[in-house]
């Protein structure tokens, strides 16, 4: 069993970033709802309490039972977690008198404390809270302060219990990783042995034990996630993995043929299925984004149901679901985090489809998936591909989806992506694509008036998809791409560029 860190989730949108930072330090961790704490097993090395949209002063605020944790094993409270450990053990938390959101700088750091050792006076941290700790209980020692927040960090003397008001998991906390490493390695004693190679070895063993000699059907999409999932499953069960690559009519230009060929070259047992018309029929007249996702998901499942009947004794459906998919679709492990949007490949299957689900990547973030892929020697051309949504261009066409709109968007997208590659910008971008807008605008071509469609280009930088910033692509590049699109794609006379970050916008428009 691996050493483990438990993260108790109080509903913060940052909880998943805590997990990612812990994983980056090669330490395994799990997120569980504060009110569904798992059994405290011998492999547990420490506990982290997350932030929360709640105030500890509210009657409805989470009130976890920490009787078997506090004072008995290492414990770190972050933001709400720190306030909880102060408010409920004899301290005082009150509403902040000044706004405490965004960047701040530490004015005092206890260099002798194990948690803050090595951190710099003046170090930038990230605040995000409406309440502040005014009084700490007896036995609590202040170990960090900012100009506006005197109690930015504390240590309970005689315990391995700490609280910090800022968010070390956010990149804007420049020495946040150092603080977390101090806690995880120097306080918890973690040995940092959760590596890509160990994940592969353990997952393959688990898959063999779980699946045995059963047959698995896996939906391939051409993306990183399903590709890594396929290679992991193939390594575990060989020819008992039956891969299905469905052309839903919503893929990028030429993608079906090129990706199918690359999978066959990898030695995978893969079958291509053209089901475009079924998806177009299901999407006819559908404009609501959630309704489109659900329609695409239903046809996807129906196609797999038909294909599964052709594979004798198939008992499992493999999926490339990863952690952000789960987080944005349902609360993590049933926790209180807010649902943003559904993903078509997340959750159970209808009762009539007699397949169990196996998701070997569901606890991994995107960058972890790529690390696993490199450990499996998967071609960089696949691992380096930008993420592409499961519903494909169906959620990049705002409004109803038609074959003609798909054709136009495929051409626009092809020019944009090819241009990024030609100019050496593709690897600087985390995800890029084009969006077909539900408007038409007046233009002029030659001496003729046009009234044609508009598209938006979207390119973002990110590390995990949980947060993202728009790419500052060169103006000359954008001008060249716009000119190519308008001149080469009939039906488009206007190109825009999306300069929204996540949050508040999501990466995809739908």
- What is the CA angle 39-41-47, rounded to 5? 80
What is the separation of C-alpha 354 from the centre of its chain, rounded to a whole number of angstroms? 29
For 160, the enclosing helix (H) or strand (E) is: none
Edge-first strand order for the sheet with 140-146 is: 28-33, 4-9, 44-49, 75-78, 161-164, 153-156, 140-146, 92-109, 124-135
State the catalytic residue, choosing from 129, 167, 242, 343.
Answer: 167
The separation between the first and the last C-alpha atoms of the chain, rounded to the nearest angstrom, is 41
Preceding amide of 504 cis, omega within 30: yes
Distances (CA, A) of 369 to 2, 417, 464: 19, 22, 10
Helix (H) or strand (E) holding 279: helix 276-283
Catalytic position from the list 3, 29, 79, 510: 79
Count the Cβ atoms, other than its own, within 10 Å of residue 271.
17
> Backbone phi, then psi, for 463, in 5-degree steps?
-115, -25
441 Cβ contact partners less than 8 Å away, ≥ 6 residues apart? 451, 452, 454, 493, 494
Q: How far is CA 92 from the centre of its chain?
A: 36
Distance in angstroms (rounded) separating the CA atoms of residues 338 and 260? 37
3, 100, 169, 255: which one is catalytic?
169
Burial bucket for residue 222 (CB in 10 Å: 0-12, 13-18, 19+): buried
Does residue 169 carry a catalytic annotation? Answer: yes
CA angle, 246 then 252 then 256, to 5°: 40
Distances (CA, A) of 428 to 20, 251, 431, 477: 21, 23, 9, 14
Sign of the C-alpha dihedral, residues 5, 10, 16, 18?
Answer: negative
* Cα–Cα distance for residue pair 102/111, rounded to 1 Å: 24
Distance CA 383, CA 14 (A): 26
CA distances to 43, 47, 190, 326, 474 from 3, rounded to whole Å, are: 5, 12, 7, 24, 46
> Does residue 167 carry a catalytic annotation?
yes
Q: Tokens 């590659």 identify what position?
A: 421
Dmax of the chain from CA atoms? 82
Count of C-beta atoms within a 10 Å radius of residue 461: 15
Two structure tokens written together for 412: 């626009």
Active site residue 422: no
Which residues are catalytically annotated? 79, 167, 169
């Amino acid at each position: 069993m691996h050493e483990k860190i438990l993260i108790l989730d109080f509903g913060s949108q940052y909880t998943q970033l805590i997990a990612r930072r812990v994983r980056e330090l090669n330490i395994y961790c799990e997120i569980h709802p504060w009110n569904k704490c798992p059994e405290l097993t011998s492999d547990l090395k420490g506990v982290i309490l997350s932030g929360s949209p709640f105030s500890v002063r509210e009657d409805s605020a989470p009130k976890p039972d920490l009787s078997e944790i506090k004072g008995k094993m290492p414990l770190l409270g972050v933001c709400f977690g720190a306030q909880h450990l102060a408010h409920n053990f004899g301290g005082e938390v009150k509403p902040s008198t000044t706004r405490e959101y965004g960047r701040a700088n530490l004015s005092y750091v206890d260099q002798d404390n194990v948690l803050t050792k090595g951190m710099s006076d003046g170090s930038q941290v990230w605040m995000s809270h409406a309440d502040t700790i005014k009084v700490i209980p007896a036995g609590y020692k202040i170990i960090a302060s900012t100009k506006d927040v005197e109690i930015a960090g504390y240590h309970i003397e005689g315990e391995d219990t700490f609280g910090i008001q800022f968010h070390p998991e956010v990149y804007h906390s420049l020495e946040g990783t150092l603080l977390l490493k101090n806690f995880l390695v120097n306080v918890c004693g973690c040995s940092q042995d959760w590596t890509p190679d160990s994940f592969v070895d353990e997952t393959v063993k688990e898959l063999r034990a779980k699946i045995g000699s059963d047959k698995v059907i896996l939906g391939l999409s051409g993306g990183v996630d399903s590709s890594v999932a396929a290679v992991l499953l193939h390594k575990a069960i060989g020819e008992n993995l039956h891969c299905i690559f469905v052309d839903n009519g919503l893929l990028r230009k030429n993608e079906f043929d090129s990706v199918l060929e690359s999978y066959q070259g990898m030695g995978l047992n893969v079958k291509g299925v053209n089901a475009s018309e079924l998806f177009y029929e299901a999407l006819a007249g559908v404009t609501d984004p959630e309704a489109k996702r659900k329609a695409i998901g239903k046809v996807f499942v129906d196609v797999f149901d038909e294909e599964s009947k052709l594979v004798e004794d198939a008992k499992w459906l493999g999926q490339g679901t990863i952690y952000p998919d789960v987080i944005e679709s349902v609360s993590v492990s049933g926790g209180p985090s807010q649902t943003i949007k559904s993903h078509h490949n997340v959750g159970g299957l209808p009762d009539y489809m007699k397949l169990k689900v196996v998701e070997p990547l569901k606890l991994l973030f995107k960058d972890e998936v790529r690390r696993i892929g490199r450990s499996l020697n998967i071609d960089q051309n696949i691992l380096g591909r930008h993420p592409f949504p499961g519903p494909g261009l169906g959620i990049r066409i705002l409004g109803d989806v038609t074959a003609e709109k798909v054709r136009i968007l495929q051409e626009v997208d092809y020019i944009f992506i090819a241009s990024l590659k030609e100019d050496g910008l593709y690897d600087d971008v985390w995800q890029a694509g084009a969006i077909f807008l539900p408007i038409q605008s007046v233009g002029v071509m030659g001496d003729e008036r046009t009234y044609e469609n508009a598209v938006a280009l979207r390119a973002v930088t990110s590390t995990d998809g949980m947060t993202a910033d728009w790419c500052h692509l060169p103006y000359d590049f954008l001008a060249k791409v716009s000119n190519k699109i308008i001149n080469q794609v009939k039906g488009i006379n206007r190109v825009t560029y999306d300069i929204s970050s996540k949050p508040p916008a999501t990466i995809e428009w739908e």
